[in-house]
Amino acid sequence: MSFDGFRALNALSLVLEPGEMRAVIGPNGAGKTTMVDVITGKTRPDTGRVVFGKDTDLTKLDEPAIAALGIGRKFQKPTVFEPHTVWDNLLLALAGDRTPRFTLWARQTTEEQDRIEAILTTIRLSDHRDRRAGDLSHGQKQWLEIGMLLAQEPQLLLVDEPVAGMTDAETHETADLLREINRTRSVVVVEHDMDFVRALGVKVTVLHEGSVLSEGSIDHVSADPRVVEVYLGR
């Protein structure tokens, strides 16, 4: 994946290998969320390209088309379907036909049920399947949303601040969960919690004012004087 020359994002270029997990950090306003918006089709860049897979230019597509290609997105604020049960949230997220023509007549298959069961186990919400998603705790909603992304079976997962507002225990479990997910898919984690990024133990890209300031291991970037300047010298 590569980005060149945006106005909001300034000449940002980032390449992610298939199967890689990458942490993107940076102070407020660095362009982290804008970058995710551009990849998922919410915002269209003035110039530049976002290439997914071999040669698919994502800037030509809209959100549902990009989602169908296999790119999932987790919002900064947990966003689940509150009036529906945990089970139904996952059911709606399961990869499959998205047209009303199909959903009008669709019946739950045993295959679908098995997949939902498996995801419930992964996200540790098996006991909460029949609860309204709106009644879950903040951390449980975050996991449910991650579960919905898994159900979508994306090749690439974009996770925007997954541990914001989580307890230490929940943060720890989330790191485990993301590593588990990364076994089969590429993951981009946007964060500004340095400790969490350190716990993930992956390559880090530091953004500042819309471009890449530094890239490498967490120890490498935290030793970089420019990064120290941006984080501490404001």
Partner 1 sequence: MTRDRPTWITLVLVLAIAALLGVANLAGNPYVPTYIVSLAGKYLTYAMLALAVDLVWGFAGILSLGHAAFFALGGYAMGMYLMREIGPRGVYANPLLPDFMVFLNWKTLPWYWHGFGFFPFAVLMAMLVPGLLALVFGWLAFRSRVSGVYLSIITQALTFALLLAFFRNDMGFGGNNGLTDFKDILGADLHADTTRVALLWITAILLCAQLLVCRFLVRSRYGKVLIAVRDTESRTRFLGYRPETYKLVAWTISAIMAGIGGALYVPQVGIINPSEFAPANSIEAVIWVAVGGRATMAGAVLGAVLVNLGKTWLTGALPEVWLFALGALFIVVTLFLPRGIMGLFARRRGKPAAAVSAAKEITG
Q: Which residues bind partner 1 (CB under 8 A)?
A: 40, 42, 63-64, 67-68, 72-73, 75, 79-84, 88, 91-93, 98-100, 103-106, 132, 134, 148, 152
Q: Which is nearer to partner 1, 80 or 221 (CB)?
A: 80
Q: Name the minimum Å distance from CB 223 to partner 1.
A: 36
To the nearest whole angstrom, how small is the minimum distance from the Cβ of residue 79 to partner 1? 5
- Return the ∠ at Cα 174 (arms to 35 and 31), rounded to 5°: 15
Give 65 or 118: the residue with its C-beta nearer to partner 1.
65
C-alpha–C-alpha distance, residues 69 and 85, integer Å: 27
Token pair 């298959």 is found at 109
Nearest distance, CB of residue 161 and partner 1, angstroms: 16
Contacts with 114 (C-beta within 8 Å, 6 or more apart), sequence order: none
Buried b / exposed e along 11-24 (16+ C-beta atoms within 10 A)? ebebebeeeebbbb
Q: Is 195 exposed, middle or buried (0-12, 13-18, 19+ CB in 10 A)?
A: exposed
In the complex, what is the shortest distance from the CB of residue 104 to partner 1, in angstroms, rounded to a whole number?
Answer: 4
In angstroms, give the least distance from the CB of 231 to partner 1.
Answer: 30
Q: DSSP string covering 123-142, please?
A: TT-GGGTTSBGGGS-HHHHH
Instruction: Pick between residue 105 and residue 232 the one whose CB is nearest to partner 1.
Output: 105
Q: Closer to partner 1 by CB, 72 or 139: give it.
A: 72
* Whether 65 contacts 58, CB under 8 Å: no
Side chain identity at 79, as an amino acid letter?
T
Cβ distance to partner 1 smaller for residue 147 or 227: 147
